[in-house]
Amino acid sequence: MHSVVVTGGAGDMGQAICESFRADGYLVFAADVKPGKPDERLIPVPLDVTDRAACKALAERANREAPLKVWVNGAGIFVTGPVEEADSAVWDRIIAVNLTGTFHGCAAALPILKANGGGHIVNIGSVSGQVGGVGVNPAYGASKAGVHALTKTYAVEGARFGVTCNAVAPGLLQGSMTGAFSASQMEKMMKTTPMRRLGKMEEVASAVRFLADRQAGYVTGAILPVNGGVYLYG
Ligand SMILES: NC(=O)c1ccc[n+]([C@@H]2O[C@H](COP(=O)([O-])OP(=O)(O)OC[C@H]3O[C@@H](n4cnc5c(N)ncnc54)[C@H](O)[C@@H]3O)[C@@H](O)[C@H]2O)c1
């Protein structure tokens, strides 16, 4: 049995990702500031991803219980509001959780995955990190663009040791995060999504699982869009 750590593991997407790994026999550490309920082979862990030492300690703990194979950086926050009124304290917090937290996760996982002879880091980026976005604090898109760049750096660093690092870049998904948008904002965004629907958390979890699998062993530094074709004409 191998272990996997999923940060943001109690969130909508985190739960779908944890369940997918759990169903395949992994020992899953679901790390979150608001940890959920335990289950068979699912261990909820209180973790603030802005705490670097705690991320490192979690990687070591998971690896002691079963060799660490995968680390998913999914913890994230999203704050809506007009861009012109964006608050700088909110900016700092979003960068701290979404970007610096992902950095701490990558830094905690890499040495252990290297020592284990290989493994996979999967970061959760966003279409906002590719095209920006209004109606949300500008730190959100900036943090996710940073996550995409960080992904490439860790991909290069891990490559010689069999450690892949990739990201998924989801578009709008069904879940509490998009509940922060008004109905008219949602309608507008749906019009620019060729599939004319929100994505499902399970669809993101499947993309994460692909990137965390030996079959994708030659894929690294990729930013995989899971967005209903949002930046295609249509
Ligand atoms: N929902 C979407 O439409 C969407 C689209 C693109 C990307 N994303 C990204 O997907 C990821 C998951 O989002 P979600 O939709 O499941 O939202 P969510 O709010 O349900 O989940 C996010 C989780 O992160 C946790 N968290 C927040 N701050 C934390 C911290 N400091 N340390 C540890 N955990 C922390 C929260 O408690 C929550 O459980 C996020 O990175 C988000 O930016 C979501």
CA 71 to chain CA mean position, Å? 10
| Domain span at 86 | 3-226
Which ligand 1 atom sits nearest the alpha carbon of residue 204? 10
pLDDT digit string, tens, across residues 24-71: 999 999 999 999 999 999 999 999 999 999 999 999 999 999 999 999
Distance in angstroms between the alpha carbons of the first and the last residue of the chain? 45
Cα 137 to Cα 86: distance, rounded to the nearest angstrom: 5
Domain-embedded: residue 232: no
- 231 occurs within a structural domain: no
Ligand 1 midpoint to CA 76 (Å) = 4
In a domain, 233, yes or no: no
Contact 22, 43 (CB under 8 A): no
81 C-alpha to center of ligand 1: Å?
Answer: 18
Residue 202 CA neighbour count, 13 Å, CB half: 2
Q: Examine residue 221 and state whether it is found in any structural domain, yes or no.
A: yes
Domain contains 167: yes
CA angle 47, 88, 184 (to 5 degrees): 90
Q: Look at residue 189 in the predicted model and tell me its pLDDT.
A: 81
Q: Is residue 148 part of a domain?
A: yes
Quote the number of domains for the chain: 1
pTM: 0.98
Is residue 213 in a domain? yes
CATH number at residue 100: 3.40.50.720
Note the pLDDT of residue 68.
98
- Altogether, the residues listed in the chain come to a count of 234
Q: Which atom of ligand 1 is nearest to the CA of 49?
A: 32
How far does Cα 122 stand from its chain's mean position? 7
In a domain, 9, yes or no: yes
